[in-house]
Structures are given as structure tokens and as C-alpha cells.
Amino acid sequence: MNTTTQKTSCNLNFDSASLIKNRLSDDLLSQVAACGSLRSSSCRSAVWRLLLRCLPYETADWETTLSRSRNEYRNLKKKNLIDPRDEKFSQDPQFNNPLAPIEHNPWTAFFEDNELRDIIGKDVSRTFPEIEFFQSDFIHKIMSDILLVYAKENPFINYRQGMHEILAPLIFVIFSDVEAHEHAKENDELKTLTLQEEDLLNCLFDKQFIENDSYILFSAFMLEVAKWYEDTTSNNDDEIAKPRKEPFMRVQDSTGTTRLMEDLLDVGQLLQEIDPTLAKHLNSLDIPPQLYGIRWLRLLFGRELPLHDLLFLWDVLLIDRPIGPLVKCVFVSLLVQIRHLLLSSDYGGCLQYLMRYPPIADIDSFVKLARHYRNPKKNAKPNIKSNNFTHITVTGQSHPNQARSSRPTSKPTSSSKHQDPSILTRLEQVKNTIRDRSNTVSVPNSPRKEAKSSDNWSREVQLMEEQVSCLQLKLNEKDLVCSQVATAIEQVADNVREARSVEQCERLAAKLIDLSKILRSKKNPESLTNNRNNQSHQLRPRSRDQISHNNEMVDLTRRHPKM
């Protein structure tokens, strides 16, 4: 790859203009996705379609490919979504009758589809309940039709619970890119493109074909994850495929009869190689990956990460296909991420953390850790400390282990009963707790109000943990933006040397001014773009007290004046 392409891949934004102007390739898109440029991009869905080979890299062939795929879904929908009242069926009561037991009666297929549609509808209605986008009837109708058509076109898999949560993010990115494109046209942001290039983008982000494009992308995506939905136990002819069942047999002792179970066995072996201590602890508690990992793989970590972090993880997964090996590394990274919590928990506590995974504060370092496990020679291991909000879940609710973790695990010594610790001692305890969240601060006993002081202190420690994680996340975002702006400035400097007219110099000067505004801005860098994906930052509803805590540092001397 030449130098120009490398610089373009790390620009601050990889937008629709970049998609059209650059020469597309696997190397370019891999660098764009890996460095996080798609997180504030308005063409993420197009990049995914390119990576999954739904679109060719030659932009001249896009209109033909899109027209063919959209017509294909339209025909599949007419074929599989049967309406007995349609004019294409005979309306003779002898042949078109709900009670007529005749062959090729359209009502027979209609009733069978209704049973499957009811199952799909119940799952679709529960998709991301905390996000308003997925609660509209319009989105429910699109998802139900797509899943029904896919089930009938792929009878060897049919429909299985969990597919709706694979489809949902795909519809979200397509809809967001369409809205971003409409917004760009309204604000006249496509004036740098030629008429032909603008027509190509209008065809790519056509609002009329959101459902068609979502089905094509979903079908291609399912080629990567369909193996985790296959069920070989229903094959009565193959006696070898039937699992061996014995009384009181543990799930980890059964042989892997499906690709899903085989991959979960591989995850257990990979964890043993990377972190033997954690693997031994989970094995001693009889908590194998098969016990909790089925949902992790089938939903591709959709319940373990908030939507905006999940999309970034999928960016990285799609550039390393087939995604299976990297998915196993992500699986192990999730365990290593909370190893201090798991090692200090019993059977019930470990299951609570694994079933309700605590949110990750720095998704960038987490992804780097997974890629390091995938290829240690190529990707350096990041320096990761405690990186999770241990007291809440991804949905923003209180974690079930919150009360368990707030209890003191050690009793204060007798010598500390009559001591009056200074504020420096208290802060030293907070610092040690933040370094290792598995440690629980032992609050010195006081002759008065011992229980109340312990509760207040645990809340203060918990609050400061969250504040430190939030500050670390903001620093990581600022570092990312500064590095990207620096790269953009270098590219502008190269263009200045090649400028041959006053107009080019003025455009470059305006671009430098925009970059300086970005550096001076105190806002979140992602809010500077007209990206509809920012709706996903509202995933965790917080109370008024929690919001104020997130924006204020605690004054310990004000809350404890006698310290």
C-alpha cells in the first residue's frame, strides 16, 4: 500500500466522500476499521457490505449489484410471504378455503407461517428494549419479514432464538447511514463530489431499500455465525451425532456434537494456555464455557457490550475472516478482563458476572487485547488495569453482585479501633482499591456510627472508581483524536506543497481551521460529526443523582467533617 492510502485510512473521518474517492481494498478497510475511524463514520454499513462481499470494490459495478440483490429479495418476499387473498391465487372456494384439506392449499402454508411469525414476533419485541429505535412498529415489521424469509430460504437452520439480535445492529447501521446521507444532502455537504459520484451514493443509501439491503447483509453475516445455530441432534439417522448422556453427567464432560460445543471446548483450552490460574478457578467451581458461552457466541457478544461498543467490535471481527479464531480470543479477553472479580467470587458470584457482564470503560484497549491473543507477534499487548464498572450492568441497572462486593472481607485490627485516620490515609486506601477492585477497603471501626460510616465509605469508594474509569475513557478518546488530527495535518501539509492555485490553498487553510477547532473543542470528539450512531450513547438510563455523580468529584472533607 502506498503512503497516501495509509494516511487516508487514519484520517479523522472516513465518510462517504472517502468511500468514493479512495481506491478500495482489503488493506485500506482493515486499517480504517482497526484504528476506529468507522466509529464516527457515515458509511459503516457500506464498509461492512464490502468486507462481506455484498458489494464489489469497483464502484462502477455498484448500481448493477445493488439492483440485482434488491430485486432478489423482492422476489423472495413474494415467494415466501404467502397471502391467500392475493390475486395470484385462485379465489375459488373449493381450492382457496381455510377448511379445505386439499393439496397446495395456500391457507396451509399461511397458517404454518403464522406460527413461525408469532415466535419471531415475540423475540423481535424484546430486542434491545432500552433503545427506542428498536421499539417502533416499522422496525418490528422489517425484522419479522427478514427473519421469516431467511428461515424459509434456509430450512437446514430455520429460525432460532438469537438471530433477531444479530439482525438488529445490521438494520441500525444501515438506517443510520441512510439518515446521515439525507442529512448531508440537506446541508449541501456533497458539493465536492461530481454528479456521477453523488448519484452513486444516492443509489447506495436509498431509503426505499433499507429492508432489501438489510436482508442481503444479514444473509452474508449469517454465513459467519450460522455454524453456532446448527442443531445436529434432530438428525435421527445419524446415531454418531447423538450426544452421550449419562446420569449426573456434567456439561463439560459431554463430547462436542455441534460446531458450537466444539468451539466452546476450544475456548476452554485457549483460556488454560493464556490464564491457567483463572481456568483452574472456574474449573474448580464447575463453570465451563458451555454453561454461559452459548449466548456469547450466538449473539456475538450483543448482551455483553453496549451497542456503540458492539459495533466497533464487529468492525474488527469483519476484517479478520473467518471470524471464528478472533471470536474465541474475544471470548477469552472478556474473561481476563474481569479475572480479579471472578477469582474473588464463589459459584454464584461468578455466574452473576458472566451472565450480567459489567460494562467496559475502555473498549479500545479491550479490542487490542483480543487482537494480541489472536496474533501476539503482530499486535503488542496493551497495558490494561481494572477496566470495568463493576457495580452496574450493560443496561445501566445495579449489578446483582453490588451488595456482595461492598461487604468488608476483613476485620479491622484491634490497634485501629482507637485511631483517628487522617485524610491522607483514607485517600491511600482509595488509591489501592482503584488499582485492584478485587480488594475491599476495610473501614476502621469507630465507637460511634460504625455501620453508617461503613456504608457511606463503600459508596464513596464505588463512586470514585466510576469517576476514575470515566476520566480514563475521556483521556483515551482525546489521545485518539489528537493522533488522528496530527495525521490529518500532515496530509494537509503535503497537499499544500502540491497546491497550484489560490483556491486550493484556501480550501486547505479552511481545513486547518476546522482541525484547530476540533483540538480546541471541549466536547466529545464524536459529537463533532453529523453521525446518527450517537443515538446509541443513550443506552444506560441514569437517575438524576447518578448523573450528578458522574460530573462531580467527591469532596471527602465536606461529607466527613470530623475526619
Question: What's the rounded Cα separation, in Å, for the pair 167 and 222?
Answer: 9
Cβ–Cβ under 8 Å, residues 187 and 53: no
Beta-carbon count within 10 A of 481 CB: 19
- Higher pLDDT, residue 183 or 244: 183
C-alpha cell at 277: 490460574
> Which phi and psi angles does 22 have, rounded to 5°?
-85, 155
Helices (H) and strands (E) in the chain, counts: 24, 0
pLDDT at residue 216 in the model: 97
Whether residue 561 is predicted with pLDDT greater than 50 in this model: the reply is no
Whether residue 494 is predicted with pLDDT greater than 90 in this model: the reply is no
Cβ–Cβ under 8 Å, residues 424 and 414: no
- What predicted TM-score, i.e. pTM, was given to this entire model? 0.70
3-state secondary structure of 130: coil
C-alpha cell at 107: 391457507
pLDDT at residue 7 in the model: 44
Written as one letter, the residue type at 462 is Q
pLDDT at residue 552 in the model: 39
pLDDT at residue 563 in the model: 39
Bridge partners (DSSP) of residue 398 are 392
Largest CA distance in the chain: 95
* Residue-wise pLDDT tens digits, 251-273: 555 555 789 999 999 999 999 99
Written as one letter, the residue type at 364 is D
Q: Which residue has the cell 484491634?
A: 414
Map 351-409 to HEC letters.
HHHHHCCCCECCHHHHHHHHHHHHCCCCCCCCCCCCCECCCECCCCCECCCHHHHCCCC
Q: Which of 462, 512, 522 is nearest to 485 (CA)?
A: 512
Q: pLDDT-derived band of residue 388, with 50, 70 and 90 as boundaries?
A: confident
Question: What's the rounded Cα separation, in Å, for the pair 92 and 104?
Answer: 13
pLDDT at residue 183 in the model: 93
Q: pLDDT-derived band of residue 474, with 50, 70 and 90 as boundaries?
A: low
Q: What is the CA radius of gyration of the chain?
A: 27
Q: How far is CA 339 from CA 269, 279, 297, 336, 373, in A?
A: 16, 10, 20, 5, 16
pLDDT at residue 472 in the model: 63
**What burial letters (b/e) apply to 250-288, b meaning 16+ CB within 10 Å?**
eebeeeebbbbbebbbbbbebbeeebeebbebbeebebb
pLDDT at residue 405 in the model: 53
* Residue-wise pLDDT tens digits, 73-114: 999 998 888 765 555 555 555 555 555 565 566 666 777 788
Beta-carbon count within 10 A of 76 CB: 17
- Higher pLDDT, residue 562 or 183: 183
Give the least confident one: 31-40, 111-120, 195-204, 380-389. Answer: 380-389
Whether residue 182 is predicted with pLDDT greater than 80 in this model: the reply is yes
| C-alpha 278: how far from chain center | 25
CATH topology assigned to domain 254-401:
Cyclin A; domain 1 (1.10.472)
106-126: average pLDDT: 85
Is the preceding peptide bond at 322 cis, omega within 30 degrees of 0? yes
**What burial letters (b/e) apply to 318-341, b meaning 16+ CB within 10 Å?**
bbbeebbbbbbbbbbbbbbbbebb
pLDDT at residue 241 in the model: 44
pLDDT at residue 436 in the model: 40
Whether residue 207 is predicted with pLDDT greater than 90 in this model: the reply is yes
* Residue-wise pLDDT tens digits, 24-59: 999 999 999 999 889 988 999 999 999 999 999 999
Question: What's the rounded Cα separation, in Å, for the pair 183 and 250?
Answer: 55
Question: What's the rounded Cα separation, in Å, for the pair 536 and 132?
Answer: 10
Q: pLDDT-derived band of residue 438, with 50, 70 and 90 as boundaries?
A: very low
Q: Which of 305, 321, 324, 322 is nearest to 367 (CA)?
A: 305
pLDDT at residue 538 in the model: 40
Q: How far is CA 74 from CA 68, 145, 146, 211, in A?
A: 10, 11, 11, 10
- Higher pLDDT, residue 512 or 212: 212
Whether residue 485 is predicted with pLDDT greater than 80 in this model: the reply is no
Contacts 24+ apart (CB under 8 A), 53-56: 53/220, 54/216, 54/217, 54/220
Who's near 186: CB < 8 A, 6+ residues apart? none
CA atoms within 13 A on the CB side of 464: 21
Q: pLDDT-derived band of residue 482, with 50, 70 and 90 as boundaries?
A: confident
For every residue of 284-348, DSSP letters joined together read HTT--HHHHHHHHHHTTTTTTS-HHHHHHHHHHHHTSSS-HHHHHHHHHHHHHHTHHHHHT--HH
Return the domain boundaries, the chain.
42-231, 254-401, 421-441+449-559
Mean pLDDT of the chain: 77
